[in-house]
Structure 1
Amino acid sequence: MSTTDEIGYQKQGKVAVISLNRGPANAYYLEFLERFYDCLAMAEQDADVVSVLINSTSAKFFCAGADIKIFAHNSTEENQQMVTQARENLRLIEASSKIFIAAINGHCLGGGLELALACDIRLAAEGSYLLGLPEINLGLIPGNGGSQRLTKLVGMAQAMDLLLTGDSIDPQKAADISLINRLYAAETLQDEALAYASKLAAGPAKALAATKVAVSQGALMAMPEALALEAALVDQLYETEDAAEGFHAFIEKRPAQFCGR
């Protein structure tokens, strides 16, 4: 296990686990974001990694976003550096061929929710904690893509309500509006999230990556262009070893053993 004081990184099979570990709320600042980027890059550069699980060691917080005390004392230039790094982190997550999963076990606010929104899958614990983008209460709007990613996930009406009021919602409401993919009992979330990530990691890596591209990029295209993208992506998969294995396993009525090639 490779760990800094505030970020943990370990591999479990083909899953990379990045743990936020800056108590009490995982509120971030520039150096924290830089170390987080290093962990993201480590996972991206590891050919064996198929899925990446981002979780928190805090019992109450997933991530509260930027450390407001540091933000308030920084110069505008210093804060811009932090925002730029946060955006670069989320850009890497979205551009990555890996599947990113956020395991949300506590308050997920501001930049913390923006991090979760950039992930491909959001799993969460049941409970009374809150998720939201309260930047309007600071005279701001989300700066790391929150307004755009939230709208694409939950629709304009729900997003506008949450963004304009700055109100936060509980995990059940978040699941109801499709902000959360799956809810689990709080005591089982971490095990369930790792099992989910491991299940994906055992799948055909090239097809998983192609699915990520098809969905994320296709959503921004008109239907003819999106269908052309899908066709181009699937055409590249027909000759892969995993496709051959998938067909043989189906015919032989056995679990497929994918190799990522």
Structure 2
Amino acid sequence: MSDLSTNIRVKKEAGVATISLNRPKANSYYKDFLELISQAVKEASADNAIKVILINSTSEKFFCAGADIKIFSSNTTEQNAEMVRAAREVSEAITSSSKIVIAAVSGHVLGGGLEMIMACDIRLASEGNYLIGLPEVKLGLMPGNGGTPRLIDLIGASRAMELLVTGHNISPQKAFDYGLFNQLYPADAFELSVTHYVKDLAQGAGQAMAAIKHYVQKHKGMNLQESLDYETTSVNALYDTHDAKEGFLAFVEKRIPKFN
């Protein structure tokens, strides 16, 4: 294991908290590494100056290869259950955050790494020759960190079934075509494109974005009438916020709004 303090890098600037995975060679995870990621997400989520959390990798080849199989294979059943719990807590920290969480992917993202980015609100990707997949079935397992339901939600049951039971990997282009990635940028323009995307989002109305995120998540378990009622309740709660007042005023004054 590498020194835990070097496993991630965190930078905060202009409303964006960037959490960079930095565990050689493949950002494969173990319990302590996962807990460090959860802590970083929670701390960024509690920072009122932050609107967007960006999760990326310092590696040119890997975003995250999932669990460290050497550690996983030598663990007891109880230790592996603890690691799965820690992985799930990363996803829960991401989904429960009021901030918009974005994954920027330009290298292999497999197993638990893919589960992590599927928990994010938006996934930006680079073109390239790297692989995306959930190979757990090849180890006699299945995803255990939300990968199964999230993959079904993102790409549909038929495609999800095929990827899950075969353990096959797909290309960035196919992942984009399936709807797994929101944007796919040329490799030579990836970093700049991500910077512009995140910067623009960080200038948006944070309270409205948080309300939208919460609605999108909660909407899944509602019938149409409940969903409509909750939408009305949500927008009514925004009318008296600083951002809404600033948005209306900026529109009238024909200027760019300055949201909190």
Under a length normalisation based on structure 2, what TM-score does the superposition of the two structures give? 0.96
Which residue number in structure 1 is paired with residue 125 of structure 2?
A: 124
Cα deviations across residues 29-67 of structure 1 (Å, max 9, x unaligned)? 011111111211210111111100000000100000000
Q: CA deviation at 1:219?
A: 2.4
- Cα distance in 2 between the residues matched to 1:187 and 1:87: 33
Cα deviations across residues 221-240 of structure 1 (Å, max 9, x unaligned)? 21111111111111100111
- Cα distance in 2 between the residues matched to 1:158 and 1:189: 27
- Report SS of the residue matched to 2:231: helix
Under a length normalisation based on structure 1, what TM-score does the superposition of the two structures give? 0.96
Cα deviations across residues 84-110 of structure 1 (Å, max 9, x unaligned)? 011111111101100000000100000
Matches within 5 A, 1:131-150: 131-150=132-151
Alignment size in residue pairs: 257
Q: CA deviation at 1:253?
A: 1.6
CA contact (8 A) 2:42 2:97 kept: no
- Report SS of the residue matched to 1:18: strand
1:74 pairs with 2:87: no
- Cα distance in 2 between the residues matched to 1:241 and 1:45: 19
Gaps of 5+ in 2: none
- Cα distance in 1 between the residues matched to 2:50 and 2:254: 27
- Report SS of the residue matched to 1:254: coil
Matches within 5 A, 1:8-23: 8-23=9-24
Gaps of 5+ in 1: none
Q: CA deviation at 1:190?
A: 2.4
The AA in structure 2 aligned to 1:162 is L
- Cα distance in 2 between the residues matched to 1:241 and 1:233: 15
- Cα distance in 2 between the residues matched to 1:187 and 1:66: 29
CA contact (8 A) 2:98 2:213 kept: yes
CA contact (8 A) 2:72 2:80 kept: yes
CA contact (8 A) 1:26 1:61 kept: yes
CA contact (8 A) 1:53 1:193 kept: no
Which residue number in structure 2 is paired with residue 223 of structure 1?
A: 224
The AA in structure 2 aligned to 1:106 is G
- Cα distance in 1 between the residues matched to 2:79 and 2:10: 27
- Report SS of the residue matched to 2:66: coil
1:192 pairs with 2:190: no
CA contact (8 A) 1:53 1:194 kept: no
- Cα distance in 2 between the residues matched to 1:71 and 1:23: 17
Matches within 5 A, 1:7-86: 7-86=8-87
Cα deviations across residues 163-210 of structure 1 (Å, max 9, x unaligned)? 111111101101101000001122322232222122111111100001
Answer with 143-152 or 241-250: which moved more. Answer: 241-250
CA contact (8 A) 1:90 1:115 kept: yes
- Report SS of the residue matched to 1:94: helix
Give the percent of matched residue pairs that are identical in Structure 1 and Structure 2: 52
Which residue number in structure 1 is paired with residue 175 of structure 2?
A: 174
- Report SS of the residue matched to 2:248: helix
